[in-house]
Structure 1
């Protein structure tokens, strides 16, 4: 599927464990513009 699913759950985990320093504000910060119109999470 091209619809991003549970991206923020994974980003929250990565932030909590120190894998990434800055927590993204939205899943759109992590995905390509072509999927921004999809109902992602």
Structure 2
């Protein structure tokens, strides 16, 4: 049971980080014209 809970927590954290990263990248692309190669970071 503990393994299931830990797995759910890890997946939730990874999904949250991925969502923030995608949203930040989309905002950066909108700001700078967005060639999308990511070397501004």
- For the superposition of Structure 1 and Structure 2, which TM-score range results when normalised by the shorter chain? 0.3 to 0.5
TM-score by length of 2: 0.36
Provide TM-score, normalisation by structure 1: 0.36
Work out which of the two has the higher radius of gyration on C-alpha atoms and give 1 or 2. Answer: 2
Higher relative contact order (CA 8 A, sep 6+): 1
